[in-house]
Amino acid sequence: MRAWYKVARADEALVIVGRRQRKSDGQTSSIAVIRGGGAVVNPITQRAETLSLRARQIMVQPTAQSIQGVTVDVTGVALVKVGSDNQSIARAAERFVSQDKAIEVFTTEQLEGALRGVVATLSVEQLMRDRQELSDQIATLIKSDLDEQGLVLDSFQIQGITDENGYVHALGAEEVSKVKRQAEIARIDAERQIKAREIATSEETLVEQTQFDKNQAAAASDVGEARAEAEQAEALARARAEQGVLMQQAENRQAQLDADVKRVADAAQYEEQKRADARAYSRMKDAEAAADVQRREADISEYEQQRKADADAYVQIKAAEADAQKAEREAEAIRVQAQAEADAARARAQAEADAIRLAGEARAAAIRAEAEALKQNQEAVLAQRSLEVLVPMMTEFAKGYATVGSVTVLAGSGDGGASSHMAGEAAMGMRAMFDTVREATGIDLSSVIQGTSVGRGIATGQQQEAPAPAEPQE
């Protein structure tokens, strides 16, 4: 029994002859078809055969004539297989079960015949252009013939169409020429676009270079301005430092003078020294301002020469841009020069202001010194002032006698006679004047004169007693 059991492969169908099987239309057939399974086959009453269900690739290369009478060779590839239903397998088994190669021969003949018939209705241009339509027409024509044989056409594709007379090549040459012309046009357009792009790039580069030059000039201008500002700040800091030094020196000198000043005359000398220091400081500031102005003018001149040289070099490349840049540089030079002049004017004004301030401080110091001397030696100062006033007073007093032409003395007493009388009158007048000054100011002129005389006498005696200084030995 095991030897009687037959099983078909996955791509095969088992066809049993002598075994009845009901068809889908209700009729019975003496051929049974089994797929995907097995069955017991009685070798005495039945016969079992296998039919391959795999797809078969068939190459067709018929020679046909188009509707134009042009003989062409058409190459096509078809995939053909036995139908999957039992009726198709049964029909194919009736015709091809004992001769499997016959399927390919039959299909090739059917495809070549259908291909010649369809090519005869089309032009070569249509064949070359509508290959898919040609394939569809052939599949439609042979479908019914293949169904009767239990076969199915899975696909059919035209691989190539050629001829021995060069007709197809001529058509291709025209297309190739057209394509070449289009390619040449495309190449020319591409070169034109590349050239236009290069020109645009050159223009952009020129614009960027111009902008770069402008930025470089602006940067140079900023650097020059920053350098000028730095120099100005340095000069200002130096002036402030020197001013601080001078102020410290002035304070030190003032302290020294304050320590040394004990009389009014010293205060006047201190004031004169202050004025001299103020004048010296003013001259120094003027000299520094003039030097700074000269240095600024030299820097401006050098800067203008450099800018002018750069402008001349750039004029050789592009005159219009050079003119514009030259105008900008000249405007920048004018601005820098104006800035330098303004800085010099500010420095000069600052120096003058410092000189005026120092002169005022000197006068104030002198006044303070005189006030301090007056405070410490009030009586001596008042005595000195009284003695200075006494001479003019006596002069005015004597003028009264100058207007008298002659004096007659009627009687006199004493040894001196008239002269003694006149001297007594003068003494009485001076005494009356001293009394008036004492009552008005509280200053006793007679005591002042007497104290001054005594002081001078003592000073003269000390000078006479003091030993003479030794002469230097050679």
What would the mean pLDDT of 172-178 be, rounded to a whole number? 74
Coil, strand or helix at 395? helix
Residue of higher predicted confidence among 270 and 64: 64
pLDDT at residue 341 tops 80: yes
Model pLDDT, residue 385 = 65
Model pLDDT, residue 414 = 53
What would the mean pLDDT of 3-18 be, rounded to a whole number? 80
Q: Give the model's confidence band at 13: pLDDT under 50 very low, under 70 low, under 90 confident, else very high.
A: confident
Q: Give the model's confidence band at 439: pLDDT under 50 very low, under 70 low, under 90 confident, else very high.
A: confident
Residue of higher predicted confidence among 164 and 262: 164
Model pLDDT, residue 382 = 62
pLDDT at residue 474 tops 50: no
Model pLDDT, residue 121 = 87
The Cα–Cα gap between 122 and 130 comes to: 10
Tell me which residue of 80, 62, 97 sits closest to 145, measured CA to CA. Answer: 80
Model pLDDT, residue 290 = 79
The Cα–Cα gap between 210 and 324 comes to: 11
Q: Give the model's confidence band at 397: pLDDT under 50 very low, under 70 low, under 90 confident, else very high.
A: low
Q: Give the model's confidence band at 260: pLDDT under 50 very low, under 70 low, under 90 confident, else very high.
A: low
The Cα–Cα gap between 450 and 455 comes to: 9
Model pLDDT, residue 159 = 86
Tell me which residue of 292, 325, 320, 287 sits closest to 308, measured CA to CA. Answer: 325
Residue of higher predicted confidence among 155 and 472: 155
Judged on CB neighbours under 10 Å (0-12, 13-18, 19+), 375 is: exposed
Q: What is the mean pLDDT of the chain?
A: 76
pLDDT at residue 270 tops 50: yes
pLDDT at residue 165 tops 60: yes
The Cα–Cα gap between 93 and 463 comes to: 173
What would the mean pLDDT of 74-80 be, rounded to a whole number? 90
Model pLDDT, residue 422 = 63
Residue of higher predicted confidence among 410 and 37: 37
The strand pair at 12-22 and 47-52 is best described as antiparallel
Sheet holding 47-52, edge to edge: 28-35, 12-22, 47-52
Q: Give the model's confidence band at 310: pLDDT under 50 very low, under 70 low, under 90 confident, else very high.
A: confident
Model pLDDT, residue 281 = 79
Give percent above pLDDT 90 in the chain: 1
Residue of higher predicted confidence among 445 and 234: 234
The Cα–Cα gap between 156 and 137 comes to: 10
Backbone angles phi, psi at 150, to 5 degrees: 80, 20
**Structure pTM?**
0.35
Q: Which helix (H) or strand (E) holds 37?
A: none
pLDDT at residue 200 tops 80: yes
pLDDT at residue 12 tops 80: yes
At 290-301, the pLDDT tens digits run 787 788 778 777
Residue of higher predicted confidence among 256 and 412: 256
The Cα–Cα gap between 111 and 146 comes to: 10
What would the mean pLDDT of 348-373 be, rounded to a whole number? 79
